[in-house]
Homo-oligomer: A and B are copies of this chain.
């Protein structure tokens, strides 16, 4: 019997502190015009990434992210032991087609925009437990495939509400290993499905803020930490509006998050200049922000410790059409700088 690594109701520690040795990001046109433009590994002005459809473009982005990750790690991609990945497309075809016939073991996830945190959490658990090594956490999203699937065809020219977020076109991948140099994962908190009645599919930030708050509070309780223990608490992706709601929920509960909270949806785009309304969204949003700016600054020592909180809205067009509210989920990963 192993000693328990469980902490409190929702959290666990990773005694070996698995290392994120390498990370890679692929970004679309709009993303590569934003504040993080110089930090991405690969950028493209072609929305189709050389493919015939937007869905295949998303597959292509994941393939490029995986190949770039392998190159940066000095490996062949076939040498990765396991890939945890998922995306927003129906039946996650971005993820499954990107790994088609390449011989890498794959476990598929669905956590909506929380997928980068979910995959990193599971990759870290797998490596810490000794079940595998050199495990990849990966996800992607694409503005055009998401708009078509969740809302309207782009050609329809639908008006966007002020609360709307802009789905990031991009893919991020992180390599988790038992040895090496880089930022380290020390503990994780698994979210519960949380919903406070928000039904507006154009206001995802509001739908996800209660889940984000619930998980952040659980992390503090389970791990006996507080906001002061972190340089940043990074949600991904509540947008500007969702971030304000998170702050308000925390205030009402007597928790002062201070100036610690930032959001991948507001880091990845220049608000309001880039006209993305409340900010970025999509699995790719927190993925490319983590796999460029955040891991880069953790690695250089500029950031010492962050709580990376992936937030997902667990709706589908069908559930919305059937008048159901939007449940949210948030998974948190505590990452320390790599020294």
> Which A residues fall within an 8 A CB radius of B?
1-6, 9-10, 12, 16, 52-53, 55-56, 81-82, 86, 88-93, 95-97, 99-112, 118, 121-122, 125-126, 128-133, 178-179, 190-195, 314-319, 322, 324, 327, 329, 331
Q: A128-B129, A191-B105, A329-B108 are in contact. Are A93 and B10 (CB under 8 A)?
A: no
B130 touches A3 (CB 8 A): yes
Q: Which of B92, B102, B319 contacts A192 (CB 8 A)?
A: B102
Contact partners of A111 in chain B: CB under 8 A:
107-108
Contact partners of A118 in chain B: CB under 8 A:
107-108
Shortest beta-carbon distance, A217 to chain B, in Å?
Answer: 13
Contact partners of A6 in chain B: CB under 8 A:
81, 130-133
Q: Is the interface of A mostly helix, strand, loop or mixed?
A: loop
A316 touches B90 (CB 8 A): yes
Contact partners of A103 in chain B: CB under 8 A:
192
Contact partners of A100 in chain B: CB under 8 A:
193, 195, 327
Contact partners of A89 in chain B: CB under 8 A:
316, 318
B193 touches A102 (CB 8 A): yes
B2 touches A16 (CB 8 A): yes
User: Which B residue sits closest to A150, measured CB to CB?
Assistant: B91
Q: A110-B109, A118-B107 are in contact. Are A322 and B55 (CB under 8 A)?
A: yes
Contact partners of A192 in chain B: CB under 8 A:
99, 102-106
User: Which B residue sits closest to A112, measured CB to CB?
Assistant: B91
Q: Can you give 19 A-B contacts (C-beta < 8 A)?
A: A1-B130, A1-B178, A2-B16, A2-B128, A3-B130, A5-B129, A9-B105, A52-B322, A90-B90, A90-B91, A90-B318, A93-B314, A93-B319, A97-B314, A100-B195, A104-B192, A107-B111, A107-B190, A122-B122
Q: Which of B96, B314, B329 contacts A193 (CB 8 A)?
A: B96
Shortest beta-carbon distance, A96 to chain B, in Å?
Answer: 4
Contact partners of A5 in chain B: CB under 8 A:
129-131
Shortest beta-carbon distance, A306 to chain B, in Å?
Answer: 21
A316 touches B93 (CB 8 A): yes
Nearest 3 CB-CB pairs, A to B?
Answer: A129-B129, A2-B130, A96-B314
Contact partners of A3 in chain B: CB under 8 A:
130
Contact partners of A86 in chain B: CB under 8 A:
110
